[in-house]
Amino acid sequence: MAENTELLDYIYQNAQMGTESISHLIKIAEDVDFRRTLEDQLCEYQRVLDDAEEMIQRRGQSAEGVGPMAKISSYIMVELKTFADKSSSKMAKMMLQGSTMGVLEITKRIKEYKGANKEVLKLAEDLLKTEQHNVDELKKYL
């Protein structure tokens, strides 16, 4: 059952970083349509985060979130990358890079943990679909 825990922890951390990054970008985004796209993505990441946390708690464990250094690093990177250019295109490119990495990593993890519980694998597949959808939506803003 360690693979269920490991996969759930990854899903939780991925969704947590998504919510953190998007929440930060929403405050910076000036384009209303782009902000709406980010808000939709935030809702989806939050759903995945909540589902992962619930599954972890049902197993009698607590979710291991992203560490404070990773959060600070992410915050600083967003600030630095948007300091001179707050365009939707710039922010979409940043998010595209993160979602593309997310697609690659969750695909790898799904294959690596193919013996995990079906419910956990379904949530991993949901995260994959979310990341893929995000990539498609963000391309519109390049």
Model pLDDT, residue 1: 66
User: Per residue in 62-95, pLDDT tens?
Assistant: 888 877 777 777 777 777 777 788 899 999 999 9
* Mean pLDDT over each residue of the chain, to the nearest integer: 92
Whole-model pTM over 0.85:
yes
Return the closest-CA partner of residue 53 out of 130, 100, 116, 123.
123
List the beta strands (DSSP E) in the chain. none
CATH of the domain at 132: 1.20.1260.10
Q: Please check whether residue 70 is in contact with residue 19, taking contact to mean a CB–CB distance below 8 angstroms.
A: no
Confidence band of 138 (pLDDT split at 50, 70, 90): very high
| Count of the separate structural domains present in the chain | 1
User: Per residue in 24-49, pLDDT tens?
Assistant: 999 999 999 999 999 999 999 999 99
Q: What is the mean pLDDT of residues 115-127?
A: 96
**Domain range for residue 123?**
2-139
Residue 37, helix vs strand vs coil: helix
Residue 64 has a CB neighbour count (10 Å cut-off) of: 14
